Amino acid sequence: MDYRNVFVFYTARKENYMDNSILIENLVGDASEFSSSMFDCYVREKFGIFIPVFENAANQSVVHRHPAYEIVINFEKDSDKPRHYWAEITSPNVIHDRNQCMHCYSLFIEKVYFESRFKMYEPDIPVFKGKSFEFCSDILKALNTFVFEYSKSMMNSDITLDAQTEIITHWLIRSLFGETLDMRVVSDDYSLARAQHYIEQHYMENITVEKLANLGYMSKTTFNRRFKSEIGITPIEYLIEVRIKMAKLMLKRKDNKLTDVAMRCGFGSSAYFSSCFLKYAGLTPSEYREKYAGWHAD
């Protein structure tokens, strides 16, 4: 190992950390938890991303709390996740133990800023105690874009970084509510995109592949082939995914009967609904409701 390079690397990281120490402290609290030599720090007044750069940065066990909302995204090695990932959110001043691994992003969103955005969706703000939630891969793209722009110090980056902070915060909040739209699978082909938009608007109806193909003025065979090639799944699989997504939102309200959820999401029968839900969600509708209904984490 060339220790001269390590020294230069450490020194540059230390200078960057010292420049941002006040911003880090306002989000993290005890800034020593995120040692300058162990984390890459991309910090603004309302939002910060911390990425471990050495193995022992994330493996130490520390009971702590922060003045900001903390969202930890853990990436599993050698996993073949599809288009979605899982994160955990913890509210300000909630005592918890570090649980991230080496391969993770730790996000911090300033309390007043986060809560003002959350209230645009729901008037009551719960206390999150390591609540798990699913989010789409496009949030990762937005985070990486934020890091790239931050690192490059491009012209007017203050404006664009604030805009990206706004987008990331809203997408994370929407994910908490079960909205996990993945922009990666929205086609730039008008014919396919029109079919996707139609499915999103009419998922509760009896939709056929022939109907979707007609929207794009192509044969059923051609439409099936092009849809599967670009989106990665068949039109019917996409339709079922949309219906499952809407069912998840409805199941989080305990006053919705399972039969009503099945009918309103276009499944036709409770048995077919339960079968599809188990296949796509890994839980029965009842198990999902028991696990995810309500805001407060266990």
pTM, 2 dp? 0.64
The region that residue 29 occupies, defined by phi over 0 for left and psi between -120 and 50 for alpha, beta otherwise, is left
Q: What is the mean pLDDT of residues 169-177?
A: 91
Continuous H helices in the chain: 3-19, 21-28, 56-59, 111-118, 137-152, 157-176, 190-202, 209-215, 220-231, 235-251, 258-264, 270-281, 285-292
The full set of domain ranges for the chain reads: 3-176, 186-292
* Strand-pair partners of 89: 71, 131
- pLDDT at residue 138 tops 50: yes
For 186-292, CATH gives 1.10.10.60
Give me the phi and psi of 51, to 5 degrees please.
-125, 120
Mean pLDDT is lowest, of 118-132, 241-255, 284-298, for: 284-298
Instruction: Find out whether 219 and 209 touch, Cβ atoms under 8 Å.
Output: no
pLDDT at 70: 95
Query: Which of 141, 80, 132, 74 has the alpha carbon at shortest distance from 103?
Result: 74
pLDDT at 15: 43
Which one-letter DSSP state was computed for residue 186? S
